[in-house]
Structure 1
């Protein structure tokens, strides 16, 4: 990782490892979130970057997993390929998703809002051989050089054919079922044109056991660049069609106290390798968004389909450098999975669902029809799961974005004044149907859990092939919802930076204004809207007990959404180059994040006319200050940044549907460093954060508490040895404990995970690599869904994957 305080991983050639300090400065340049790329020691920003060689060694299992290795970023990558919860420098994770940080691909956002329900921006990005590097900017000018990104920007930059040749890489899991093929090729088409083409395909069960191929799909990306005097024009396209499972909460047993829980895995279930999916739990019968019966395969998991085309150009026009970026993305898919399910002792669950004397039996699987005579010893853990099956049909998350800007460098006195002005426009569609059903299953791993039928003492069967209800029964049949919305975002922006001698002073401003328009459907809106009916959903001529609980969408009584917003963002900083290797900087910024679908189906939006009950809920402002020092010389880089932030968050918790309207404050220190001596290199980072809730309009009792999931310390360290023939190293990533919820009762234990990598160059063009993620199989729990240990001692935990080891053969040409 490279940054204003971390050096790049030494390349495999010893000659390159002896690069001069001037060469290092030339490569230590950031282009994301600034008007013009410049040496980090001349920029009043906190930045990092991951080069292709770094990413290859890390071999991340997901984008969320990759972001865990970036200092200052808190990434809860326990959900699989998408929907990671990500924040930065103490900004809150009041619900889920990526609210205050924007993920970009080649300078434009992949989704305008990072916390849209059901499909996060990390679900639309894959780390493959197309990826040249990842640039990260924390705070600072991120507030003014992009909309909805006050916390920071993460930009995934594609290769564009500057380097002739390509590679083919074949990867297989050594202790888990996955096979993957990657390729890329690029180079010149003629003297003024070049191209790059790449992609991947993979298939297998994945890092956790499901009993079927839960991962299958891939992507292809192509770009063509034509250069001319004074600029270039680039056309590019991307096709992604991929599916991967969502890793929901898993049961663990907790003893001890809330402040120091002792967490153990339950019998017949490995918390880091198993999940609630199974080869026997596949069929999901529901009414679709038009209230017609439909069957979906739970194996769909995350199904993500993206078709995007774009244009990027740069032109030198009368001394002005004009840059235009445009992209259209057609995004659709599905999300079928158990979501925040409930685990109960089987004897208690039988009585709760079927009354005194209720009996349990297997609905399917190898023991189909057999009765469960001793529920207390079922699978050695005595548990049943009430599976909340969320079936989210993403009809369209289409987005169109355009960013045009013009920059010019003026000679003013003895210094250079860089001015930039531009306009950003985006349109984001959110059209989806949220469908639910409730199933009962036993709790066991290895993809072999089976559905359970419940029969009352009277002999009346209360389930139908393991289905308890065709709605979200545990929440009273609520949360069946459809939305059809369009969000418009517009923003003029400008900046000026004056660099004279050792001093660089800069300021930038952005004015965002936008609208939210459309319709929403759901019984949660009230007003007599019906969300549950009795219906013969399977068409057998008989209405079973579960068929008296069928979720429907009240299509004839939509509620409008119709409001607008506007806010001002600004940022100003000064950087002083004390000496060639040493600089100090200070920056103050104000930005904001416009709210999208997270505030719907709550009193925040008036169901009569679609306006906001409180206009301040349209966006959440963030104020930040930074003061830092940066050093880089002779293979050593160091950075220490103090930060302060105040943030507002208006949200609705997706787990319990509670409204969140509160303010936060965070202060802390962020360290990054790197050293290289001969064959040895070490990069490291650590972030200390002291955060608290300063206001809560809904629950004042939590004021003064530490925000949930906020650890005091997160840290990373990567030691490695590199020669012209091999590279060997490890990645240590850790966190201290944090509270699972804002009530500050139950603490989630801290942990350290260890990843290792080894690469051997067998010939000049042939390389063999082995990567181990979570080598020591640590039970690394990112959080619990509960606020305290219940009487049963069973907690719903969100752990990272256990140990997975993969091997890669790569041929370069």
Structure 2
């Protein structure tokens, strides 16, 4: 019954079409009031813009593409003032990015695609090559592998469409960053940036001709910042260098490129909040904790020593390492026309590490007195502990600061949070060979082969409970009972509850065939089919529970998860077909309709195979789209109505005590996304982007703890939108551009059970760009200027809505500003 909404959404798209056609007819005379030359150039560029992502023929005019794709130039990327790669997705309708974790570790949801964390339906590409063929592993999604800098020329973001057939077959969203290349004229720029959190950053890039038919580009960035949430140590510290070398050939060219990144980024998780008295209201600040700028991280917690083995084995870790990235990526892009055939080959190789070290919250805070009382009851109920204490029962205890400072007041709120340590050693190689030719008038046939080999070596220590004060820049706390029981030692009140050492390797081989038929000047039809095989081999350690020091009185490490020396293995091979069928019809030169159906798959990746003991199914996804595109001097409109249907989707949730909840279900959704812009007078543009959707779960087994059929898909708002006016003021010496963005995000549910409500919120960003001639830019931007409070995540470590009137959530960042000076030469 829910799919009946799709024809209604199609009607919306057709209504917009009719209105826009009428506006097109009525504004023929109005176009005599043409905008300034600079605006005319921008409109002309939009009309003629060519996109390569999702195109079978290596490039198609954006207006003629029979699928939804958003583009952003270097200038538009800067104007977005994105805090991370994932945060840039806020400019894309139909995508909701939770970028509040910092520079890495985002959760990204795609229109109608259910996902509980990370970004399983988002692929990030560099020059058309997937950075890592699997879009998501535990503690790693593709956006964490990329840092934006001034070497990026532009970005293209494809949703749905023909992506199920090409490259790695991503059915969700593909975010393709295109690097700059050298040209005949040498050019370069240097940009200095400062901002909130004592940010200090420099970007530089230079490109030009090296010799006849040889061209080069080199650039990168370095920066350090304390972050909007000051953990008392650098939140971001590092940089990268990118370079390319291009050789122009007769009827073609080849480009070799590389990028080296060495970056450290703090990772922010949930903070304590006071639950709202009325359902639908926002939680309020927890006493002593500012949810907009606060973080539990601190210098006292920064350097941690984790007990990981029974023979005194320890790991020394630095929380400043956070979710860092230390990788080298290299690739090649070859294009050549041979005897009427267009031949392209894109290949890339990635090697490096992506660690995670962060504080993950669990149970609600309580007073130190209440914590001690709970510890007394637990210790006295444990016969082994009582025996080790000589039969003495505890009657009380003391709490002291681990790093000095005396006793902790009984009224002080404290909480236990885990310091989770995950190390990942990554390698991947991808190659895509594609040939196409017009084999008959109007018929272009494309054939391709895709190969990927990718691996990861992981070492996990989850848990490592740490007792700390519930305040900004928390302090670790030790608790001892009066019968000798040590509840918290050196700040730790728990050891690792999940220890893992694993090795995984995946191989994907796919072949595809696509045909594009231009029936006449107005009508085009295309279709493609893909056959893919994935083979996965994995070896995982078997943990066991031990008392790390063989002392029952030190209860914090009595039940530690350690490696047993045993292993299990999983070997899995899957083979599946995918397809896409679409078509476009030109109502006018720059006004098009399109429709498309695709059927894609998401193969189970390493973590879902481990969690399901190798039984996780292949996810089957169908999408239906009807869209409309037009660009004129006074307006632009891109509108797409969609329906999605999922089968065999795995769900997994790690709770604060180490238990894991797994299940398999599906979902169904309908919606409409839009990118609209009007230019009513010279130098003024107002854009309005966003989406409305209604996506719900289905196929959960009866009594499932993971979710309930009919519940709304977690973490995705029914409605989200961005209104962005901008006004350019020409000057004799250059120009001044003013811009602002008002964003509204609707209510969401943090969990599949629909018990943790995340109320909607609204934010205001603004900026000014002063251009002095063609060489100097001065930019000032501010985000969340009204200091709005909003949540992007609830407590992912519990089932239910929380206890004790206190909840955990990950709020958006508070007010922040950034200023930059750019000099071009």
**TM-score, normalised via structure 2 length:** 0.88
Alpha-carbon distance between aligned partners in 1 of 2:56 and 2:437, rounded to the nearest angstrom: 10
CA contact (8 A) 1:532 1:551 kept: yes
Q: Deviations over 1:418-471 (max 9, x none)?
A: 2111100001102111013111000211x3x21001111335332212111332
Q: Describe the shift of the 1:327–1:732 C-alpha distance in structure 2 as closer, same or farther (beyond 3 A).
A: same
Alpha-carbon distance between aligned partners in 1 of 2:772 and 2:673, rounded to the nearest angstrom: 40
Which residue of 651, 657, 662 corresponds with 2:665? 662
3-state SS, counterpart of residue 370 of structure 2: helix
CA contact (8 A) 2:71 2:157 kept: yes
Q: Deviations over 1:262-313 (max 9, x none)?
A: 4111122111211121110023223569984221122211121111221111
Q: Which residue of 1 aligns with 2:297?
A: 277
Deviation for aligned residue 1:21: 6.4
Alpha-carbon distance between aligned partners in 2 of 1:654 and 1:323, rounded to the nearest angstrom: 43
CA contact (8 A) 1:565 1:618 kept: no
Q: Which residue of 2 aligns with 1:798?
A: 810
Which residue of 480, 487, 497 corresponds with 2:516? 497
Q: Which residue of 2 aligns with 1:483?
A: 502
CA contact (8 A) 1:46 1:137 kept: yes
Alpha-carbon distance between aligned partners in 2 of 1:23 and 1:182, rounded to the nearest angstrom: 26
- Pair 1:464 & 2:489 matched: yes
Alpha-carbon distance between aligned partners in 1 of 2:547 and 2:607, rounded to the nearest angstrom: 27
**1:270-669 alignment, distance < 5 Å:** 270-287=290-307, 292-346=313-367, 347-355=369-377, 357-365=395-403, 368-373=404-409, 375-376=410-411, 378=412, 383-394=413-424, 396-412=425-441, 416-436=442-462, 437-445=464-472, 447=473, 449-471=474-496, 477=497, 479-499=498-518, 500-523=520-543, 530-535=544-549, 544-555=554-565, 557-602=566-611, 604-605=612-613, 612-613=614-615, 617-648=616-647, 649-655=649-655, 657-669=660-672
Q: Deviations over 1:136-179 (max 9, x none)?
A: 11111011113241112111111112363111111111x42221
Q: Which residue of 1 aligns with 2:4?
A: none
Q: Describe the shift of the 1:457–1:544 C-alpha distance in structure 2 as closer, same or farther (beyond 3 A).
A: closer
- Pair 1:169 & 2:191 matched: yes
Q: Deviations over 1:541-598 (max 9, x none)?
A: 999443434431122x100010110111100001000122321111000001111123
Q: Which residue of 1 aligns with 2:768?
A: 758
Deviation for aligned residue 1:729: 0.4
Which residue of 693, 698, 701 corresponds with 1:697? 701
Q: Deviations over 1:510-544 (max 9, x none)?
A: 11101110201133xxxxxx2333238xxxx9994
Alpha-carbon distance between aligned partners in 2 of 1:453 and 1:809, rounded to the nearest angstrom: 49
CA contact (8 A) 2:119 2:136 kept: yes
Deviation for aligned residue 1:357: 4.8
Q: Describe the shift of the 1:161–1:353 C-alpha distance in structure 2 as closer, same or farther (beyond 3 A).
A: farther
Alpha-carbon distance between aligned partners in 1 of 2:309 and 2:397, rounded to the nearest angstrom: 35
Deviation for aligned residue 1:501: 1.1
Q: Describe the shift of the 1:289–1:119 C-alpha distance in structure 2 as closer, same or farther (beyond 3 A).
A: farther
Q: Which residue of 2 aligns with 1:687?
A: 691
CA contact (8 A) 2:601 2:618 kept: yes
- Pair 1:263 & 2:283 matched: yes
Q: Describe the shift of the 1:354–1:171 C-alpha distance in structure 2 as closer, same or farther (beyond 3 A).
A: farther
CA contact (8 A) 2:546 2:559 kept: yes
Alpha-carbon distance between aligned partners in 2 of 1:74 and 1:285, rounded to the nearest angstrom: 37
Alpha-carbon distance between aligned partners in 2 of 1:801 and 1:290, rounded to the nearest angstrom: 41
Q: Which moved more, 1:319-328 or 1:787-796?
A: 787-796
Alpha-carbon distance between aligned partners in 2 of 1:754 and 1:522, rounded to the nearest angstrom: 50
3-state SS, counterpart of residue 256 of structure 1: coil
Deviation for aligned residue 1:638: 1.2
CA contact (8 A) 2:398 2:481 kept: no
Alpha-carbon distance between aligned partners in 2 of 1:20 and 1:108, rounded to the nearest angstrom: 28
- Pair 1:122 & 2:134 matched: no
Deviation for aligned residue 1:342: 2.9
| Equivalenced residues, count | 759
3-state SS, counterpart of residue 462 of structure 1: strand
Alpha-carbon distance between aligned partners in 2 of 1:290 and 1:511, rounded to the nearest angstrom: 49
Q: Describe the shift of the 1:358–1:409 C-alpha distance in structure 2 as closer, same or farther (beyond 3 A).
A: farther
Deviation for aligned residue 1:243: 0.4
Q: Describe the shift of the 1:306–1:161 C-alpha distance in structure 2 as closer, same or farther (beyond 3 A).
A: same
The runs of 5 or more residues in structure 2 that have no matched partner are 1-15, 21-34, 378-393
CA contact (8 A) 2:437 2:445 kept: yes
Alpha-carbon distance between aligned partners in 1 of 2:635 and 2:236, rounded to the nearest angstrom: 42
Alpha-carbon distance between aligned partners in 2 of 1:735 and 1:708, rounded to the nearest angstrom: 14
Alpha-carbon distance between aligned partners in 1 of 2:65 and 2:444, rounded to the nearest angstrom: 13
CA contact (8 A) 2:512 2:530 kept: yes
Deviation for aligned residue 1:411: 4.3
Deviation for aligned residue 1:653: 2.1
Alpha-carbon distance between aligned partners in 2 of 1:738 and 1:294, rounded to the nearest angstrom: 39
Q: Which residue of 2 aligns with 1:66?
A: 88
- Pair 1:109 & 2:139 matched: no
3-state SS, counterpart of residue 143 of structure 2: helix
3-state SS, counterpart of residue 76 of structure 2: helix
CA contact (8 A) 2:206 2:217 kept: yes
3-state SS, counterpart of residue 364 of structure 2: strand
Q: Which residue of 2 aligns with 1:206?
A: 227
Q: Which residue of 1 aligns with 2:32?
A: none
CA contact (8 A) 1:41 1:577 kept: no
3-state SS, counterpart of residue 147 of structure 1: coil
CA contact (8 A) 2:272 2:365 kept: no
CA contact (8 A) 2:552 2:558 kept: no
Q: Which residue of 1 aligns with 2:177?
A: 156
Which residue of 131, 156, 161 corresponds with 1:135? 156
The runs of 5 or more residues in structure 1 that have no matched partner are 7-12, 472-476, 524-529, 606-611
Alpha-carbon distance between aligned partners in 2 of 1:811 and 1:22, rounded to the nearest angstrom: 27
Q: Deviations over 1:63-85 (max 9, x none)?
A: 12111121111111121111211
Alpha-carbon distance between aligned partners in 2 of 1:458 and 1:371, rounded to the nearest angstrom: 18
Q: Describe the shift of the 1:73–1:256 C-alpha distance in structure 2 as closer, same or farther (beyond 3 A).
A: same
3-state SS, counterpart of residue 68 of structure 1: helix
CA contact (8 A) 2:182 2:207 kept: yes
